[in-house]
Structure 1
């Protein structure tokens, strides 16, 4: 009888111990993007490594397309919870700060973090001199080109200006090497604003001046005029007006484009012989500049990870973020997204096999131009997206379209 009692007592103690462990486990929910840069499988692998190192924290991951990331975050916040960690674009901190979506983590940013992370990366998570997370994806758009096509066309070097891009595309088209040599992501979405911003930076334009729209003149107008001219010239793939970045990647790696503007991730994907017909022929340089103006052009397309103000587990959420943005994790996945840490660029494990990309990155990342910082960014972006579409389709002149966008920008 005593033996039975001891066995039962032992079993009860084990059960209590297991229950205690189960109760000690904290679950956090994290919202990520299901597309460019790190893939869903990569993010899951990173999270598994985190839970292995922190068995008392479980991470539930959710993935949505970029286009749904902002609204999903805001709607979850409005419902009083949902996510502890969210991925956010460089264009959202102003709005998120104004609406108390993210926690101000300025006190958690250490001196080592400040010194180790590239200065330009911090702009991703800052607003009004406060930090709202950690930069995670450091990115800009580059000009990719098909080395074989350029060689066959007798072109010795990729274009350094946007006018040269037009000239080279014409040579390639005239020689029958590509029917429409240039691919862009000009769908009525944020993708088009990123391409437009790249051109605005080349032409020295301004989005806002003294808080008011300034893009309807100067470099902002020149940028849209270039887009329209390129579209109407027959050198740009006509489907560009519906393309997102993934469409551009597929067209380029199928060998149907000589030039394409896209994010970092395309470099290694287009060089993968399993999926790409142009593997080994992919060249990459900074997006071109303008003669007599800027040598290169670049948009700040970086993204950060932040703790939501609705999180019931902010400490565990921050622990997860510091792991995901750590130099070791970033270096391990550097073939998909370049690290935020400056010393990583001296590490052969990071640079090997992508020396050409790193060389372009050193120039482009230093020239990243921001999209406007305003709490009403979504309204402004929507107005500009419409202006670009109307101009490309010939429904409005660039001048009139941008003037209407300025009137509808909410500023």
Structure 2
């Protein structure tokens, strides 16, 4: 029996050959999504419309907020005793959400088809302590995008395979007067910077935590920040990168003002759209580079999941909506902005056509995805690291001192 939200709709049933009015309750769900990257707002609305058409007894109210507001909106709504039935959550939040009872444990709702069909790496997006708190929805990592035309003009035949090569190629482009600062990053004091930093930590073979304690202030963690600072101080990196989020990086790259940019999957098809981009048809993409002797490629796990909140009064309907949104049919239909979580989708010409280069990069990048630290205190740790990155870039502290302070302020 559906729980009523007080709204009655009139339908009709046949009784003895006559049309007889029939009342049924309509369930109303509130869903919180992100207003940037991956699926566009229009796409989420279109998917939802298709769901409600197939399920006329369920209405879904959509709310979109920037990524930066997603976590706090979710947590504050829980505290007020309701609000959202379905929420989009980042891979870094299940530990906190599970510990604080924000999301429903749906481990027993995962079907055999889901278990065998979804890519193994995708499941890590929604897992904590052996349980699953939703379905993976956006499978994502950051790739190295490059402007083929600029590389060609600089006499560079192949994109870089190591971060050192990236610096060398950027220097060649700068020295030839093609671009003053060839690399664009998302290094604003926000989660975006942590994603770029994590990519480099993975390349250098670093660790965030050892035995629950900070370990990023030495070895690969320190080398990663040192690379960022060197790239910034050398002028190879766009000086505005310290204020850029991913959308800023996309705009700079699409304007032809960057030879290299680290960004999420969604930029590939947007940068190749001649309506909005000056570099359409010139966009190259490869996995983020590695470090000689340490890694072939590097990648951060930037995936996101959809979960049912513990405050939801309609958990069954909320789960039904999530199953639809994450289904292979829905994901394949919208694969130009976010690659599917389903393994067999990558053999489907409808998914791969026109983005073969991206799929080739994804096969390597998605397999190498490195997690940001799994801890219920992730928010404090992230803020401490964001501050450390800014201080080091601005020369207010050495990378060593900045990371040492971050370790002390991490709450761990």
**Separation (CA, whole Å) in 2 of partners of 1:297 and 1:277:** 28
Query: Deviation of residue 177 (structure 1)?
Result: 1.0
1:156 aligns with 2:157: yes
Alignment match, 1:267: 268
In structure 2, runs of 5+ residues without a counterpart are: 1-17
**Separation (CA, whole Å) in 2 of partners of 1:249 and 1:51:** 33
Matches within 5 A, 1:61-210: 61-210=62-211
- Structure 2 SS opposite 1:102: coil
Alignment match, 1:4: none
The number of residue pairs the alignment matches comes to 396
Matches within 5 A, 1:1-400: 17=21, 20-21=23-24, 24-400=25-401
Deviations 1:7-54 (A, max 9, x none): xxxxxxx9x946x23xx1100000000000001000000000000000
Deviations 1:270-325 (A, max 9, x none): 00000000000000000000011100000000000000000000000000000000
**Separation (CA, whole Å) in 2 of partners of 1:282 and 1:403:** 39
- Structure 1 SS opposite 2:313: coil
**Separation (CA, whole Å) in 1 of partners of 2:207 and 2:144:** 22
Deviations 1:55-80 (A, max 9, x none): 00000000000000000000000000
Query: Deviation of residue 341 (structure 1)?
Result: 0.1
Alignment match, 1:6: none
Name which one, 1 or 2, has greater alpha-carbon Rg. Answer: 1
Name the structure where helix makes up a greater proportion of residues: 1
**Separation (CA, whole Å) in 2 of partners of 1:117 and 1:292:** 32
Alignment match, 2:8: none
TM-score of the aligned structures, taking structure 1 as reference length: 0.95
Query: Deviation of residue 201 (structure 1)?
Result: 0.1
**Separation (CA, whole Å) in 2 of partners of 1:77 and 1:256:** 43
Deviations 1:206-247 (A, max 9, x none): 000000000000000000000000000001000000000000
Deviations 1:173-230 (A, max 9, x none): 1111111100000000000000000000000000000000000000000000000000
**Separation (CA, whole Å) in 2 of partners of 1:112 and 1:257:** 43
**Separation (CA, whole Å) in 2 of partners of 1:60 and 1:234:** 47
**Separation (CA, whole Å) in 2 of partners of 1:216 and 1:357:** 34
Moved over 3 A (4+): none
Query: Deviation of residue 353 (structure 1)?
Result: 0.2
**Separation (CA, whole Å) in 1 of partners of 2:252 and 2:220:** 29
**Separation (CA, whole Å) in 2 of partners of 1:233 and 1:262:** 21
**Separation (CA, whole Å) in 2 of partners of 1:17 and 1:178:** 70
- Structure 1 SS opposite 2:33: strand
- Structure 2 SS opposite 1:144: strand
Alignment match, 2:4: none
**Separation (CA, whole Å) in 2 of partners of 1:104 and 1:323:** 18
TM-score of the aligned structures, taking structure 2 as reference length: 0.95
- Structure 1 SS opposite 2:302: coil
- Structure 1 SS opposite 2:195: helix
RMSD: 1.3
**Separation (CA, whole Å) in 1 of partners of 2:289 and 2:178:** 22
**Separation (CA, whole Å) in 2 of partners of 1:292 and 1:51:** 52
In structure 1, runs of 5+ residues without a counterpart are: 1-13
Deviations 1:365-395 (A, max 9, x none): 0000000000000000000000000000000
**Separation (CA, whole Å) in 2 of partners of 1:365 and 1:37:** 15
Alignment match, 2:6: none
